[in-house]
Structure 1
Amino acid sequence: MIDDFAENGLLATAIDGFVAREPQKRMANKVTEAINAQHSLVVEAGTGTGKTFAYLVPALRSDKKVIISTGSKNLQEQLYSKDLPIIKKALDYTGKISLLKGRANYLCLERMYHQYAAAGDLDKSLRTDLVRVKNWSIKTKDGDISKCTTVTEDNPIWPILTSTNDNCLGSDCEHYNDCYVVKARKRALNADIVVVNHHLFLADVVVKDTGFGELIPKANVMIFDEAHQLPDLACHYFGEQLTSRQLFDLAKEINLAYRTEVKDMSQLQQCADKLQKCTQDLRILISQQNNKGNLRYLFNQSSIKQELFYLFDALDFCKEVLLLAIGRSTTLDNCYDRVNQYQQLLKKLTETHVPGYSYWYESTYSSFLFALTPLSVTEKFEELLTQREGSWIFTSATLSVDNQLDYFTKRLGLTNAESLILESPFDYINQTILCVPRYLPSPNERGNAEKLVDILLPVIEANNGRCFFLCTSYAMMNALAEKFRLLTKLPVLVQGETSKTKLLEQFIESGNALLIATSSFWEGIDVRGDTLSCVIIDKLPFTSPDDPLMKARMEDCQMQGGDAFNEVQLPEAVITLKQGVGRLIRHHNDRGAIIICDNRLVMRPYGATFINSLPPSPRTRDVNKVIDFLLSNNEPDNLENK
């Protein structure tokens, strides 16, 4: 393995610009040991370590079946289309490699033909898109909707033409032999390396009720990149959810089957219309509440109780009618199973007294979601590791808190895993400066956006833009955008005004932009070079204690005699901050400033936990020193830690 990563090794010979890195070698050796010994390994590999190659080389060398799971579909595509081909060529690897996505990424032929049979139900633009998809379906080999050039991925036609675990007919479907999901699974079964994402992996673990439901084949080696996302995602997937979309889709399916297959049963339309109306009435009522909250409080309201009673009644009516149609249509048979499933799930959701779970809801103008989420997935994950013997490898640039991996390993029950922390090879002492400016407003002070603009505009203009301003809320993001657009001629780009991809393209093309964003821009963004040389964060990213899941986790921690702030809130905020700060230095030639606009970082005892978890940048409280650093190539060694 050392030969592969040496200065004159196989990778250096095969890959232009390859640089031998000691941390990368160490990680690759540890991954090899874990694979050979069939044990678990947790590795925090700082930015620039080269962790992707450090696990890919041992994976391809192992001659074992390997599943690699990434944090998102974009990273999954990058791994499959860019990184794996490089290593495959370098190692002269002859095994098969497969990409497997969730079923919502593949065209469902059954649903497409069903929609064609009742195309009058769609509006004109959707009918046009349906024809485009139909024309594409004749040419496509894998049915991957991202490859359809005539209809964009976010087009509303796709949810209508892709299947879910709920509505998939499985082997009863007349198009089963031509099914793109089935074909994708067969390719994965025959492959040696299969690339998936965390959402698909966890959904697949949960779905184990039927052979068709499971998409991911068994493997000897499981590798999770961006593993810091796993604990929270696992909580959601090991919980249960019911959405207005599921209920609306069920009503549409019943109606569609009546119009195309069982035309002599008008009761089908009656029960479908009743279910749609009850779901709509409940949605309208819930949209008047907070957009996120506790189900216990919601379900105690008399008006909500009344609408829930009507919804239960509508599901009962559907069940009675569908019982009469059993055997006449595979679609209606599937609908009957779903009615039973939704009834049981709704009953479970209304029994909000069961300990160990958070009961919560989310609501928008057009939808609602009811959820119960386990507060711990330790037992579930331990059970999973026991059932699927082999090597389990978890890696990310942001797993540790205060140089300890305990927070991550305890949440997933990885008590016997070997662990390793590899520091970034980047020279943060000379490449960066960290500033917590003086005279900051308190985080929730009225008019703080205006004060932040006054303090930071000179820095941003001196740097000629080239700046990410990462916010912890949409309200702050919008307030800052409004103020900056009034005061600067620099391009001000704001998340939500166009797609994430286009926003990044505009940022890079302009070369002097200020990009103001929240949530999804804190991680997974890779802008190298001079285009980005300043990252500003509006405040420490603590999750609100009013968030239902966070509140439930804190209460559960306190009930067990723990310290909710230090054991739950603080570690979550540290990992999120590390992600945000990590947007700045992506290459050994990058250089720039990190500005965190929160006095608590230097005035509260817990500030030290944040500082100790971040790269070792020189620190100052003087924004003028930040400007001097950005305008010069001088090394900031002489900056005082003021």
Structure 2
Amino acid sequence: MKKDQLYAVVDIEATGASIGRNERMIQFACVLVKNGEVLETFDSFVNPSRKVSKLIRDLTGISLKDLATAPYFEDIAQLIHRLLEDTIFVAHNVNFDYAFLNECFERIGLPPLTIPAIDTVELAQVLFPKEDSYQLKELTASLGYALNNAHNALFDAQATVYLLNRLDERLCSLPLVTIETLARLSEATTADTSLFFRQALDEMKEEPSDLDDSLVIIDGLALKKPFTQNEQDTYREKHTYPYKDDDKLAQMEAVGLEYRESQNLMMNTVFNYFKQKEPEYVQFIEAPAGLGKTFGYLYPSLYIASPDEKIVLSTYTKLLQRQLVEDSLPQLLDVLPFDKAVALMKSPNHYLSLSAFYTKLKNVEAGDTEAVFCMKLLVWLTETDEGDLEEIGLGKTLHHPFWNEVKSVPDAKLQFKQFEDVDYLARREKRLDQASILVTNHAYLFSEWQRQPDRFADAKLLLDEAHHVPDVLDQNATVKLSTRSITNELKRLGSREKEETLLHDCQQLLPSDSIKDYQLDTLHATVQLFSEEWELWSRKWIDWLIHSGSYDDRVVEWKEKTLYYAQLPLDIKRDTKFLFGSLEELVYVGRQLTDALDTTEGMTSAASNGPADPSTSERNSDRTGISLTQKEKRVLSKIKVILDHFETVIERFNYLFLTGNTANQTRVRFYSKNPLSTLSFFRFDQAVKEKLLKQFNAQEHLILTSSTLSVNDSVFYLQKQLGIENKELTVYPSPYHYDQQAKLYVTTDVDTHVNEKMSVSVTFITDQIERVLSQTDENCLVLFRSHDMIQRVYQALNRRSHLKDKTILAQNISGSATKITKQFKKAKQSVLLGSDSFWEGVDFPLDELKIVIITKLPFDSPDMPMVKKRHQELRERGDNPFVHDVLPRAVIRFKQGLGRLIRSQEDKGVWIVLDRRIVEASYASVFLNSLPGDLEVRELPLNQIIAEVSAFFKTDKPDDDASLNS
């Protein structure tokens, strides 16, 4: 911040969050700051002369009494106006506060403010690029400040003062070369936010500081120096693995873990298996929730792994992958008597290309939107070791084309030799080579096997959450085509007339020796024609899909359909073939334009590496001597990236629509709420799957672990799915006392509303949920298998007057799964209706969830295309689809659903199953055998169940704890 400058940090609460909609102020707060110190604070409620909604009152904590006794804005407007004179206005989202305040001034006849305004949201996005959220409360909490009364103007303003000081400290800590570039690009920032950077630059020039030892400057870019792990020198030292409990106990306690006998046994199992030279079997380990499975395999892995004998740990999600690298492994290494190098293994396109960014930085205009992205990266370069773009909080900008343009490309030549020693892909390869433990995810594991079949030939492999492996395997053997991605690329190409498109940028470069007018004109016409054809083709698909079969547009869900070529309308068949040819023509015409770029790159390569490829020279002989400007290179490079993508689309298009194969049909999928933008096509490739299975089973050491591997004490299902011949299964008991911590009930109530299509009806489920919720205050998760049923039950519950005080949330209605989960955790007396992702992977610890209602056993719908494909393959092999696929998958998912509830020794919970097949069906024993041994199944009428549940939760908690510990 500028020395001796007065900053006015302002926050406003209002009747609504809109400007120009006649909203009114209800609170104004201002904190005056100079040289980082608070000089004065002003805070006042404001009478809005109108009703304020309960939502706003609850959000802000401002009562009707506070407003009734508060002054009107007219009474304090002059004071506020004078208070802000000669200051720099600062707010978190300044576009709202500054504009709203001026609107209030103008309404009563005062002149609007003309003082400079700075936005701390945008400053934080640039200066704290790794933050997950830029909401004031979450952001300041991450920086060490507790904002306990968010959405109260005074507390928000005080938090913003704290944030402003942290932003100033961070900016002043950056090297001069970075601040110079930030100041140059800052014209693109909101309001007068650029002042913050320019003032910092002026002050640093007056008092320059030495470059931090952790940084290096290359061609104007300040980068964090590559970090080299020192394990290479010490990994050959042998450390004896502690088999006995006592030997491990001290280390586990140092990490803050409880001792568990089953966890110690699991550690020994993993160690003994990996120590075998040539094991003749695959090791399956089923470790129930609460056993400490993650540390159960990390601990022995660290004792065995070395750079020469690597262990690859694969997880199902990228989130868990990063947690292992950033939390769990460092936690263990802190207490072990040695160090081991760990590397995160992800696709090369996750990493920044310094060459691509350097080119972008040299060509970006100071006022461009991309300038702010460049600013964010400039700060991040001084912090990142790995260059992994997922470290950055991209938020809504994630899909901006900029990020694709600065990503690394596998096997691409380094454009600028000066970055050779610091290139992030080179760093990645060095880390992977030096590391003892490689951490990846299942999807990348299989994709790497497609790209490099021998990638993990010498490594020991452990897959966590291994029950997902068959599905991930199928996904990797599936060719996909998203219509939205092509639509977006066509929009980026645009037209000669439309601003901020690539063809318009080309038009602006004319006249040019490199870009011929007739070439641009031809590409323009081809793009326009193809864009029209593409949209028409996509709309024809949607129109045909929603008018064929039993489509119900009232149900918001993902729809899938298998395509049989003979059944397609003639116009779709004709247009598909025509569209394929049009796309080939578009790529051909586009290549004529980008030819100049290829020639220039070829000449550059020839100058440094010898003669260019003769075929390239001959093809481009008429272009010899062309020298592209930086702007031409920038535009043509962007077009070339799109054309490269379209080349891939052509290959996929051909496989999906024009290659006959009755064994694996193309499938179409879309989301019914916005079908045109979500339309996509898939086709399974059996040959790819067989290659991947061959690689998978070629691994010498292979451990598969999960909390849900077995069905009826057998892993036959997974063994069959993965083609595993020899196996050993080890199952460990749960550490929880289910007889004391949990209850499982099956209602004996009969569904009198049942119809042919549903095993239980909407009315029955709604009645059962209402009866439970109306007699308990506990949060409840209701698990379904049908999105249709979720939406019907949701609508029915909202009509029940007894539930008016309950918060009712539903998948696909109340927002994304992440948003719903956050709302559910915050709310009291809430019910969440969920399917799919809510059967597993979502944790609700302690008091956040007490009751799970399972409406229907989780069998896959036989109408789903992927299910049909699996069942067809099973029948061809002579296997029973129900026995070998439907039932085991349902049992595994059922076990995952049970795992949503008891997650610690302190948890207490109840399951209520409405589907009586769990006790009456011929296969009921398979489900019942999957339950924890000490969990009793009770069949009772719902009224009696509710009475027992109420008594169970009213049990004195200290006595419960005592019984658990006895």
Q: What TM-score, normalized to structure 2?
A: 0.59
Per-residue CA shift, 1:556-596, capped at 9, x if unaligned? 21122221121122222221121111111111232211122
2:447 matched residue in structure 1: 203
Q: Is the 8 A contact 2:274 2:701 kept in 1?
A: yes
Taking the aligned partners of 2:758 and 2:806, their CA distance within structure 1 comes to: 27
Q: Considering only aligned residues, what root-mean-square deviation do their CA atoms show, in Å?
A: 3.5
Q: Cα distance 1:68–1:366, how it changes in 2: closer, same or farther (>3 A)?
A: same
Q: Is the 8 A contact 1:235 1:376 kept in 2?
A: no
Q: How far is 1:411 from its partner? A: 0.9
- Structure-to-structure mapping, 1:59-98, within 5 angstroms: 59-64=301-306, 65-98=310-343
1:174 matched residue in structure 2: 415
Q: What TM-score, normalized to structure 1?
A: 0.86
Per-residue CA shift, 1:299-339, capped at 9, x if unaligned? 73212112202211212212432453446347466656554
Q: How far is 1:485 from its partner? A: 3.4
1:285 matched residue in structure 2: 540
Q: SS of the residue aligned with 1:370?
A: strand
Q: Cα distance 1:422–1:274, how it changes in 2: closer, same or farther (>3 A)?
A: farther
Per-residue CA shift, 1:52-96, capped at 9, x if unaligned? 111101111113322211111222232222221221112244122
Q: SS of the residue aligned with 2:907?
A: coil
Q: Cα distance 1:534–1:4, how it changes in 2: closer, same or farther (>3 A)?
A: farther
Q: Is the 8 A contact 2:356 2:405 kept in 1?
A: yes
Taking the aligned partners of 1:297 and 1:424, their CA distance within structure 2 comes to: 51
> 1:191 aligned to 2:509?
no
Q: How far is 1:287 from its partner? A: 2.0
Q: How far is 1:30 from its partner? A: 1.8
2:271 matched residue in structure 1: 32
1:640 matched residue in structure 2: none
Q: Is the 8 A contact 1:376 1:411 kept in 2?
A: no
Taking the aligned partners of 1:547 and 1:201, their CA distance within structure 2 comes to: 27
1:316 matched residue in structure 2: 584
> 1:481 aligned to 2:801?
no
- Structure-to-structure mapping, 1:139-538, within 5 angstroms: 139-140=379-380, 141=384, 142-149=386-393, 151-152=394-395, 154-158=396-400, 160-162=402-404, 168=409, 170-172=411-413, 174=415, 177=420, 180=424, 183-208=427-452, 220-248=459-487, 251=490, 259=505, 263-264=515-516, 265-266=519-520, 267-288=522-543, 289-290=545-546, 291-297=559-565, 300-324=568-592, 325-326=594-595, 328-329=597-598, 331=637, 338-351=645-658, 353-354=660-661, 356-363=663-670, 364-374=675-685, 379-385=690-696, 389-437=699-747, 438-440=749-751, 442=754, 444-445=757-758, 448-487=761-800, 488=803, 489-496=805-812, 497-538=814-855
Q: SS of the residue aligned with 1:42?
A: strand
Q: Is the 8 A contact 2:477 2:686 kept in 1?
A: no
Q: How far is 1:446 from its partner? A: 10
Q: SS of the residue aligned with 2:272?
A: helix
Taking the aligned partners of 2:458 and 2:486, their CA distance within structure 1 comes to: 36
Q: Cα distance 1:385–1:447, how it changes in 2: closer, same or farther (>3 A)?
A: closer
Q: Is the 8 A contact 2:853 2:911 kept in 1?
A: yes
Q: Cα distance 1:68–1:3, how it changes in 2: closer, same or farther (>3 A)?
A: same
Q: Is the 8 A contact 1:3 1:10 kept in 2?
A: no
Letter in 2 for 1:73: K
Letter in 2 for 1:418: E
Q: How far is 1:553 from its partner? A: 1.4
Q: Is the 8 A contact 2:312 2:437 kept in 1?
A: yes
> 1:618 aligned to 2:936?
yes
Letter in 2 for 1:193: I
2:292 matched residue in structure 1: 50
Q: SS of the residue aligned with 1:493?
A: strand
Q: SS of the residue aligned with 1:613?
A: coil
Bigger shift: residues 51-60 or 335-344: 335-344
Letter in 2 for 1:463: T
Q: Is the 8 A contact 2:267 2:296 kept in 1?
A: yes
Q: How far is 1:628 from its partner? A: 3.5
Per-residue CA shift, 1:89-119, capped at 9, x if unaligned? 1224412222234456555667778888998
Q: Is the 8 A contact 2:364 2:371 kept in 1?
A: no
Letter in 1 for 2:515: K
Q: SS of the residue aligned with 1:588?
A: coil
Bigger shift: residues 425-434 or 61-70: 425-434
Aligned residues: 620
Taking the aligned partners of 1:608 and 1:163, their CA distance within structure 2 comes to: 56
Q: 11, 19, 25: which is aligned to 2:259?
A: 19
Q: Cα distance 1:511–1:333, how it changes in 2: closer, same or farther (>3 A)?
A: closer
Q: How far is 1:467 from its partner? A: 1.4
Q: How far is 1:374 from its partner? A: 4.2
Bigger shift: residues 572-581 or 420-429: 420-429
2:229 matched residue in structure 1: none
Q: Is the 8 A contact 2:859 2:886 kept in 1?
A: yes
Taking the aligned partners of 2:333 and 2:305, their CA distance within structure 1 comes to: 13
Letter in 2 for 1:132: V
Structure 2's unaligned 5+ residue stretches are: 1-240, 495-500, 547-558, 602-636, 961-966
Q: Is the 8 A contact 2:274 2:460 kept in 1?
A: yes
Bigger shift: residues 581-590 or 330-339: 330-339
Bigger shift: residues 364-373 or 349-358: 349-358
Letter in 2 for 1:494: A
Q: Cα distance 1:33–1:327, how it changes in 2: closer, same or farther (>3 A)?
A: farther
Q: Is the 8 A contact 2:253 2:259 kept in 1?
A: no
Letter in 1 for 2:781: F
Taking the aligned partners of 2:742 and 2:708, their CA distance within structure 1 comes to: 19
Structure 1's unaligned 5+ residue stretches are: 637-642
Q: Is the 8 A contact 1:234 1:377 kept in 2?
A: no
Letter in 2 for 1:90: V
Q: Cα distance 1:282–1:118, how it changes in 2: closer, same or farther (>3 A)?
A: farther
Q: Is the 8 A contact 1:442 1:599 kept in 2?
A: no
1:548 matched residue in structure 2: 865
Taking the aligned partners of 1:411 and 1:446, their CA distance within structure 2 comes to: 29
Q: SS of the residue aligned with 1:195?
A: strand
Q: Is the 8 A contact 1:100 1:185 kept in 2?
A: no
* Identity of matched residues, %: 25
1:639 matched residue in structure 2: none
Q: Is the 8 A contact 1:356 1:374 kept in 2?
A: no
Q: Cα distance 1:494–1:185, how it changes in 2: closer, same or farther (>3 A)?
A: farther
Question: Per chain length, whose mean CA-contact separation is higher, i.e. which structure has more relative contact order (CA < 8 Å, sep 6+)?
Answer: 1
Q: How far is 1:551 from its partner? A: 0.7
Per-residue CA shift, 1:99-143, capped at 9, x if unaligned? 2344565556677788889989xxx9xx64x34322111011244
Taking the aligned partners of 1:297 and 1:423, their CA distance within structure 2 comes to: 51
> 1:575 aligned to 2:892?
yes
Q: Cα distance 1:251–1:292, how it changes in 2: closer, same or farther (>3 A)?
A: same
Taking the aligned partners of 1:538 and 1:187, their CA distance within structure 2 comes to: 49
Per-residue CA shift, 1:202-249, capped at 9, x if unaligned? 22222349xxxx9x7776222211111111111110222222244345
Rg larger in 1 or in 2? Answer: 2
